[in-house]
């Protein structure tokens, strides 16, 4: 799928244009060949990342239920299934992004593709004037994240059979806390490695 997206968006040409002032043509070709040679790593790591992210969200939800409702003894698999349902919302991000660059903004650079996040608050900002460590938290303010949140709410509501408002509260506290910790880690790493 990623190879298909790269072909449609002509990523090789964008990489060439991005590095053309900094590197010689031979170096750019070597870079592209190296990327193609190691592309399988990217394909292999995607399922690992999805399982890891889903497991972290499921852990947050299970910890939240532990503190909110001690009488329900649910297995981790139940929370994992709820979090995995939410992942389908995040898959839509890639398709919307592809559609945006294929049909709406047909002239774009490599930086445009890297920095664009569909239906995000950052689309209203000039990212060149924002500190790099703030970009991810601002990208997190988007409609897909809200949809993901409500998929978790509905899933948890069906799982523990409680009210919608109680499920919203539980997901806000459990998943929200995990998301804040994750954003803090991202900001810390960005500050220290850029």
Q: What is the mean pLDDT of residues 123-146?
A: 93
pLDDT digits (tens, 9 = 90+) for 136-194: 999 999 999 999 999 999 999 999 988 999 999 999 999 999 999 999 999 999 999 87
Residue 21: pLDDT over 80: no
How much is the pLDDT for 194?
73
Comparing 15 with 152, which gets the higher pLDDT?
A: 152
Residue 109, sorted as left (phi over 0), alpha (psi -120 to 50) or beta, turns out to be beta
Biggest CA–CA distance in the chain, Å, is 65
Q: Check: CB of residue 6 under 8 Å from CB of residue 42.
A: no
Q: What are the start-end ranges of the E strands in 5-121?
A: none
Residue 1: pLDDT over 60: no
Q: List 120's β-bridge partners, or say none.
A: 142
User: What is the chain's length?
Assistant: 194
Element (DSSP H or E) covering residue 16: helix 11-19
Of 2, 32, 34, the residue nearest 17 (C-alpha): 32
How far apart CA 72 and CA 99 sit, in angstroms, is 43
- Structure token pair of residue 158: 């069906």
């Amino acid at each position: 799928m990623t190879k298909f997206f790269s072909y449609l968006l002509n990523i090789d040409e964008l990489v060439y244009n991005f590095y053309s002032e900094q590197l010689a043509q031979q170096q750019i070709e070597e870079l592209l060949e190296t990327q193609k040679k190691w592309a399988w790593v990217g394909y292999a790591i995607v399922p690992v990342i999805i399982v890891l992210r889903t497991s972290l969200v499921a852990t947050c939800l299970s910890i939240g239920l532990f503190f909110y409702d001690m009488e329900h003894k649910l297995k981790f698999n139940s929370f994992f299934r709820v979090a995995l349902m939410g992942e389908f919302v995040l898959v839509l991000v890639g398709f919307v992004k592809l559609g945006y660059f294929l049909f709406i903004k047909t002239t774009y650079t490599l930086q445009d593709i890297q920095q664009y996040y569909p239906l995000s608050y950052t689309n209203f900002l000039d990212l060149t004037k924002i500190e790099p460590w703030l970009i991810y938290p601002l990208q997190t303010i988007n409609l897909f994240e809200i949809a993901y949140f409500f998929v978790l709410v509905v899933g948890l509501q069906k799982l523990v059979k409680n009210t919608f408002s109680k499920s919203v509260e539980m997901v806000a506290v459990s998943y929200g806390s995990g998301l804040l910790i994750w954003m803090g880690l991202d900001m810390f790493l960005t500050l220290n490695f850029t």
